[in-house]
Structure 1
Amino acid sequence: MFTKISSSHLVGIESVCVDVEVDIKSMGMPSFTVVGLAEGAVRESRERVKSSLKNLGFNLFS
């Protein structure tokens, strides 16, 4: 299932529009990939997403 939503993030005091795209497949090993700018915040977001999914009760990553 492919889903796309529009969102925004803050740069200083300005809001910048971003598109978030998700493709959920029911086959294979559970994983996800974060793409975008290679800044530290993007690389660190992978751990924040894992933590959020765990706290919501999803056990995707054993």
Structure 2
Amino acid sequence: MSLSIVHTRAALGVNAPPITVEVHISKGLPGLTMVGLPETTVKEARDRRAQRHYQ
């Protein structure tokens, strides 16, 4: 089991609020889980990632 943490910033107009992304890497079937209240664009990115995986 491996946990990676990435600190980055989001582009939100002229502001750049900090973002922390935590990723758990393990063996097994690929999956993606987002917690919180992701916006529509984030949900679409998840769908694009799933489509890319199966091409």
Which residue number in structure 1 is paired with residue 13 of structure 2? 12
In structure 2, the gaps of 5 or more residues are none
1:13 & 1:37 partners in 2: Cα distance? 22
Instruction: Identify which of structures 1 and 2 has the higher relative contact order when contacts are C-alpha pairs closer than 8 Å and 6+ apart.
Output: 2
- The 4+ residue runs of structure 1 with deviation greater than 2 A are none
Which residue number in structure 2 is paired with residue 35 of structure 1? 35
Number of equivalent positions: 52
The answer to whether structure 1 residue 21 and structure 2 residue 22 are counterparts is yes
Q: Identity percentage over the alignment?
A: 31
Report the 3-state secondary structure (helix = DSSP H, G, I; strand = E; otherwise coil) of the residue aligned with 2:9. Answer: strand
